[in-house]
Amino acid sequence: MTSDRIFGGVGLALAAFFIWQATQIELGFSSDPLGPRSFPIIIGGVMALACIYPLVKPDPEADWPALGRLLEIALAVAVLIAYALALPVVGFVLATAVAAGILSWRLGSRPTGAALAGVGISVGIYVVFHLVLGLSLARGPWGF
């Protein structure tokens, strides 16, 4: 019960901070009737409503994962942080291939299959988002 209430309280505080930050967005001279503040305020409001539920009606005390599983979660977080840091340096394709490969391996794939999955995910996303949709992705030292 305590962990749900802590989660709900922290989430509610974060939602309040998010809404406050949304009210700080400067309005341009010519903007639409809703303005740029509306969408972030709506998102913050929905988040606040969602965080009230665990405060009012928490679940029974949760079963936390064993230490080995917590280390797996910490490794996944470390991989994602390293991915974000490597993205501007090595580019989207290489950073995504390595990160997706490592995460696939930790999710249970064999190393060869994980490497192939990482390359396939990376190239597939690059083709769809950059080549088909024309979105800009981080360029690496090879220009893609």
pLDDT band at 1; cut points 50, 70, 90: low
Extract the tokens encoding 83.
């991915």
For residue range 25-35, what is the model confidence (pLDDT) as tens digits?
Answer: 887 766 666 67
The pTM of this model reads 0.63
Q: How far apart are CA 74 and CA 95, in angstroms?
A: 19
CB 117 within 8 A of CB 102: no
Quick one: how far is CA 50 from the chain centroid? 18
Q: How many CB atoms lie under 10 A from the CB of residue 88?
A: 12
- Those residues whose C-beta lies under 8 Å from the C-beta of residue 1, and which sit 6 or more positions away, are 58, 59, 60, 61
pLDDT at 78: 97
